[in-house]
Amino acid sequence: MSTGIKKSPSNGSEKILSFEEQQAKINEVKRLIGTLPDKLSIYCSDGSISRHLRARNWNVKKATKMLKDTLKWRAEYKPEEIHWEEVAREAETGKIYRSNYFDKHGRPVLVMRPSCQNSKSTKGQIRYLVYCMENAILNLPPDQEQMVWMIDFQGFNLSHISVKLTRETAHVLQDHYPERLGLAILYNPPKFFEPFFTMVKPFLEPKTYNKVKFVYSDDVNAKKIMEDLFDIDKLEAAFGGNDTSGFDINKYAERMKEDDKKMPAIWKRGNPALAASEPAPTSAALTLDSIKLDSDSDASDNGKTDSSSSHGIEPEVVSDHDELVAAGTRNATEDVH
């Protein structure tokens, strides 16, 4: 029995499939994708294919198209080759960083502070966002495949709003990192942010939107919400925790440089974490030109799926529903992505 097939909880119209049905769809996607160069082949683990299928409600045709688009993007953008020195300037103010603690489900936490924006380059900001995503994935524990976003709105004002950046952010996260977001907490967003969020809602897929939670520190339930998710002694004071150490760019740079050293080994087929789940190529590696992006994968599979904007942007957030504590840990032992 292959690992990496996630049994996600039902959310409305989402299909619920047996293990055998899930595996059959994963195998069909593999057949349609065909043989790939090593790095892209490593990316196409059962867990990765499963995430693309879940993002498209197990519709093989749509999931295959999504995966092929991501494979082409990864071949051209080379996210795993971004190094700290390239993005260090973007990171100086602590506008996005991976915290040194996990939530109670073992998910890494990415902290985002829009008021600390220090760049006008959308290209540079997206490059740094991708670096942060790859780093968070690198640090996923063996039994987890998702992360938590914590967005701190302290000092946020209208000048920090960028529809263009939001659209591009949503495009990258939803189209190239499907099912990586477990929960997004918007902490103390100002009142004027709500109309903006309503405006960008069309950029968000329903599954993304439903992972967004607005939390206000003056709400009597806020402390309970954070205590349910985090160890309060490790949680930063900005989010109601007891840790007052704050962001230190020098210490963070050292952490990232050490992580950069680990990245090349993750993308080698001999990596023990991948060997058990990744089949070796059976013929000469193919180039991306050989991947037919318009292939008809599964014409009979018409399951309902999320509506995906072609280039939507948006940091996935969590709506004001009472269900906050996201479903527990998932088994993603073989996944790099």
Give the CB-side neighbour count of residue 226, counting CA atoms within 13 A: 25
Token duo for residue 127: 């490059």
* Strand-strand pairing, 108-112 and 96-102: antiparallel
Kindly report the number of other CB atoms within 10 A of residue 153's CB atom.
Answer: 18
Token pair in block for residue 244: 């007052």
Among residues 33, 36, 118, 80, the alpha carbon closest in space to that of 260 is found at 80
Q: Is residue 38 part of a domain?
A: yes
Q: How many Å apart are CA 220 and CA 326, to the nearest integer?
A: 20
Statement to judge: residues 33 and 114 lie in one domain: no
In a shared domain, residues 109 and 154:
yes
Question: Which pLDDT belongs to residue 328?
Answer: 36
Strand, coil or helix: what is 181?
Answer: strand
Verify that 64 and 113 share a domain, yes or no: no
Q: β-strand 108-112 against 181-187: which pairing, if any?
A: unpaired
The tally of domains found in the chain comes to 2
Which residue is associated with the tokens 């519709």? 59
Q: Are residues 229 and 186 in the same domain?
A: yes
**316 located within any domain:** no
108 and 249 assigned to the same domain = yes
Whether residues 119 and 196 share a domain: the answer is: yes
CATH number at residue 167: 3.40.525.10
3-state secondary structure of 149: strand
Weakest-pLDDT range from 32-36, 252-256, 333-337? 333-337
Cβ atoms within 10 Å of 265's Cβ, excluding its own: 10
pLDDT digits (tens, 9 = 90+) for 53-84: 999 999 999 999 999 999 999 999 999 999 99
Residues 150 and 234 grouped into a single domain: yes
What average pLDDT does range 162-171 have in this prediction? 86
pLDDT at 132: 98
Q: Kindly report the backbone phi and psi dihedral angles of residue 43, in degrees, each rounded to the nearest multiple of 5, phi listed first.
A: -60, -35
> pLDDT class for 337, splitting at 50, 70, 90?
low
The verdict on residue 209 lying in a domain is: yes
Going by C-alpha positions, the residue among 271, 39, 245 that lies closest to residue 134 is: 39
In a domain, 191, yes or no: yes
Q: pLDDT exceeding 70 applies to what percent of the chain? A: 75
173 and 59, same structural domain?
A: no
The tokens describing 141, both together, are: 């524990």
Tokens encoding 267 = 């993308």
Name the residue with higher pLDDT: 296 or 267.
Answer: 267
Domain housing 45: 19-77
Q: Which of 53, 66, 50, 56 is nearest to 171 (CA)?
A: 66
Phi, psi for 33 (deg, rounded to 5)? -75, -40
What is the distance between the alpha carbons of residues 333 and 273, in angstroms, rounded to a whole number? 8
CATH of the domain at 30: 1.10.8
Work out the average pLDDT over 160-180.
Answer: 89
In the predicted model, is pLDDT for residue 28 greater than 80?
yes
| Domain presence at residue 101 | yes
Same domain, 147 and 250: yes
